[in-house]
Every structure is written in C-alpha cells, then in structure tokens.
Amino acid sequence: MISAADIRKRIVDVTFANGGHLASSLGAVEISMALAEVFEPERDRIVWDVGHQAYAWKLLTGRWDSFSTLRKAGGVAPFPNPSESRADAAVAGHAGSAFSVALGMAAARDRRGSGENVVAVIGDGSIVNGHSFEALNNCAAATKKLIVVLNDNGMSISKPAGSFARFLGRLITGVRYNRIKAAAEAAGHRLRLTFLRGPYHRLESRIKGLFLGSRFFEGFGVRYIGPVDGHDLSALKAAFTVAKEDKRSVLVHVVTKKGMGYPPAERNPTAYHGVQPAARPGASGPHGVSWSDAFGRALCEAARKDDRIVALTAGMTDGTGLAAFAKEFPERFFDVGITEGHMVGFAAGLAAGGMKPVVAVYSSFLQRAVDQVVHDVAISSLPVVFCVDRAGVVGADGVTHQGIYDIALLRCVPNLSICQPKDAADLSALLDEALGRKGPTVIRYPRGAAPSEAAEPPARQSGSSRAAIWTTGDWYGKAAEVARRVGGCEVVHARYLKPFDSARLAAQRAAGMKVVSLENGCVSGGFGESIGADLRLGWPDTFVPHGAPAELERKFELDTDSVVRRVSAFLDGRVAACGTAIGG
C-alpha cells in the first residue's frame, strides 16, 4: 500500500530533478488518495482544475514508474491530459475551467443515462474565476448531480485576493462552530464507517448552515459539506462517500496546507509553487536578471515619476515581477485573483478615469481576456499597457502554457501597438514609450534571463545583402548568428511588430532583397505573415508539447543550425518560398 509519505517523497525527488509545480501537489496528496479509493479513476470522470495539484493523481493512476520523465520531451505531461491516461478526464492547464467542463460531462451523462460520477477538483483561487461562478449559477439547471471538491489552501499562486477568500476563511475559522465541531469530531470519527455516517454529515451540514452562513452554496442548489481536514484520509473518504451517495449536487470544502510534508514549501509556498531543476535550498539558480524582474524594476522607476501609473495582476504578483511594486506602491497595486477578463475590463475603467494602468500577464493567460482587449480597451483606444510575460515557447510547462499565439491573436486588432525588446534596457525604453502613448500597447517578452544590453545589429551591407532577416527581440542573437554564418544577410530587430518599419521593408524590397522572418511565435497569422516574408520561420500549426526549449527548437528545426541550413537552401533556390517554410 503506497502511503502519503511515499507519494510526497516521489513528488519532491522528481520535481527537484526535472522542475515542476511542487507546493500545490504536496498539499493535495490525500485528496488524490481518497478520490482514487472512493471513485473508479478510469470510469468516473475526475476533472482537475489546473494540474498544479495533480501529481499525486498521476502517481496513483498508472504513472508511478514513468513519473521520472515528468516534463521531459516525450515523457509524462506536466498537467492532466486525456491523451496520456483515461484517468485524466480533461486537459487542465488554466485555472477556472474545471467546473464548467465537469458540468458539461455531467449533463452529457444525464442525457446518455449512464451512471458514472463526475467530480470537479478546484482550488480556492480558481473558484473566484468568473468561469467558475457562471458554472455554479448554471449547475442546478444543467444536471441532477455533480460533485465539486473545493481544495482550500488559502493560496492560489500568490495569496488569494478578494471578498470570497475572506468568506471561505470565515467558514473555516468561525469560533462558535469550531467549538461545537471540536466536541463532536471524536464522535463523528467513530461513526464515519458505520450506517450512521450519513446522518452525522447531514447534522454537521445543518449546524454549519446555522453558524457560518454556508447556505451560500445551497442557494445555488448545491449541498455544502465541510470544512473537512484535507490531510485526514479517513475523513476525506467519509466525506467523498457521502457526496457520492447523495442524489444532489454536492460541494465538499476541503482545507489543506500548500507544501504539506516538505517544510521549506510549507513555510514559503509561493517560492515553491514552481521550482526549477536542482532548486533545493543552496542550489545555484539561473544567472542574470529575468525579463520579469527587469520589467518590475523599470515599472517601479517609471511609477516614482508619475503617480498615475497603477499595476494589475491576476494572482501572479511574484511570477510577473510585481512584488517590489506591490511593496513600494501598495495603494497603486491591484491583484484581482485569477480573473483575467475582469482584470482587463478593470484596467479599461482605470484608464478611462485618467490612470495609466499596466497589466502584467502571461501570454497564455491573456488568451482568456482577448474579448476585453478588443471590446473594452481597443475600441476606445484607451492607454492600457499590456506587459506580456512568457511570450514564446516556455518549455516544460507544455501545450497549455506555450506563449506562441499572442501575436496572431492581437495583431489584427485596430488601435493596438505591439512591440518586443531585445534586452533589459530596451524593455525599459519601450515601457516609457508605451506609458506616453494615447492608445493601448502590448510589450511581449519571453521567459528566462534578459540580456542587460544586446549588441547593436551589424551595419547595413549596402549593395551586398541578399536577404533581410526580420526577427523578434528574443531571437535577435540567433538571427545575428544565422546572418554571420550564411553571409549576405542584414538583420532587422523588429522592435515594433505593429506598426512595423514599412519604409525599411520597402527599401529592402526595392533593393531586390529577399525577406526572412524568424519569430518565437506561431507562423500561422504571425509577424512574418504581416510583413509578407518570403520565408517564414516560427512554430508550426500544431500544439507544441512539453520539453526543454532547446529540445523543442531542434525538434521543429528552429535551432541555429537548422535555421542556417534552411535559409541557405532558400537563398540558393533549393527551397521554395513560404509554402515550404519551417512551420508553414
């Protein structure tokens, strides 16, 4: 019998070897164990809301031996994915989706007349997402029975914000209720394996309704059970069994500790939310300042000069580099929780009110707010600055997190400027330019270390250049190396992707030069398409899997050697234009 301690040790060992999401999965070990015992993993549908918490589930559903390949190219995926295991009911990479997806599965089950259970496991940070509230509102009308497990660890990635987090806190810490609960708990545990288990939980639920106001969920037609100790396996199995046997939809409120079982993660769950390989205390980390930190420093500097600058994030204070800003300017900082659509609409209102809002968001998460970018910001040409982190392939987080779609999604939007720096100094300059603009601006930059100052492009070789390589800032160094090795190429840092330097492009065309685009984004709808490049190099029209960025570049022929070979073949006439471009 595998113990919780065995599972935690396996998660810690593999995560520190390969990188991954540590603290959340350590906190959800007993939840996974109870779900695997009470339900049938390959028949019942267990829908995880973000796979940050699902490593134990993977270990318990046939992937113990292969777990050492977690996040490696061709290995175990970083998040639940049905293509990997029948026990993974749905893809789970972005918070807030599980409730709706599970609700659809339950409604389909009702239509088919099959009898499988459907369970959504969501976090306290995820339930405040508008997506989740919309599903809660629709729950009673859509299905007869859905089980929701609310994993409440008092954290999302950063500390959760907003009134609902305080409401959950009151459910856990109500003084009068807990006095009664403490007195009744011993009796309850003695009853949990008898025929009286059901009546005990029904009585417990009614008492909570009287003392804590937990009727909130019942107002939506969902029975509330809890709070349940999320590290007491017997209590969890009892609660899940009651939920399974009830004919109504049920929400089981489970209280856990993020990072449970690994003291450093318990003390600082934010720092251990995601860890890099060999990140144990004392291990060396990546060299240089990250793009996120370079952005944070530049924003603080700008904010000291202009008190109209405000910053917004969706539950990602540390990840987006805003921790220093939040500390220095707390009254000008807004963490709205995992609610990207609301965040962009909120920023639009701030801009309309005379503020200069800066929205810090990962590229893959901005996908959730494209409507608000168009409708609330761009139509009115409001001066909102979108600092889009993790733009480009991010690597081991895989298919749900690759930031390769933002250019294609946004370059068609009127009034919107899109730019990308090549180094930290350029990022600071672009931020200043964006804050002085009257309309909206997107500044995109990748994951990883930012050069302090990249070398200037080589001098134009008048009359000798056969081609111009237009490239996004993060791949400028690669483009320069390609130009050096191929010969006869001019490198253009496409500092502004929209509007791009059309005069320079026209001059190159007039000189008979071929145009090559090299971008850390998808080819379909990307920057190369906007400039009409003859050869368009970028990520293909397929979902890019997990793996180290260097491995993925080799796999899709976007490493330097492959690009040199392809550009050379193109310029020598051995490869046709666009139709056979890498990723085309």
Q: Catalytic positions, please?
A: 258, 340, 368
The answer to whether 244 and 38 have CB atoms below 8 angstroms apart is yes
Q: Which two tokens stand for residue 385?
A: 């600055």
User: In angstroms, rounded to a whole number, what is the distance separating the alpha carbons of residues 57 and 39?
Assistant: 12
Q: Give 122's strand partners.
A: 150
Backbone conformation region of residue 583, classed left if phi is above 0, alpha if psi is from -120 to 50, else beta: left
For residue 5 the two structure tokens come to 């301690």
Cβ–Cβ under 8 Å, residues 214 and 140: no
Rounded Cα gap, residues 235 and 226, in angstroms:
10
- The one-letter amino acid code at 304 reads R
- Cα-based distances in Å from 266 to 233, 277, 583: 19, 19, 44
Evaluate whether 323 touches 296 at the Cβ level (below 8 Å): yes
Decide: 114 and 108 in contact? Cβ < 8 Å: no
CA separation for the pair 279, 20 (Å, rounded): 10
User: What's the length of the chain?
Assistant: 584
Residue 492 is encoded by which pair of tokens?
Answer: 């253009």
Using CB atoms within 10 A of its CB, is residue 568 exposed (0-12), middle (13-18) or buried (19+)? middle
**Cα dihedral 170, 99, 52, 296 in deg (nearest 10):** -70
Sign of the C-alpha dihedral, residues 333, 334, 340, 344?
negative
The DSSP 8-state label assigned to residue 422 in this structure reads S
**For residues 515 and 482, is the Cβ–Cβ distance under 8 A?**
no
Residues with Cβ < 8 Å from 573, sequence gap 6 or more? none
Instruction: Tell me the HSE value of 296 on the side-chain side, using a 13 A CA sphere.
Output: 22
Distance between CA atoms of residues 528 and 459, nearest Å: 23
Q: How many CB atoms lie within 10 A of CB 255?
A: 20
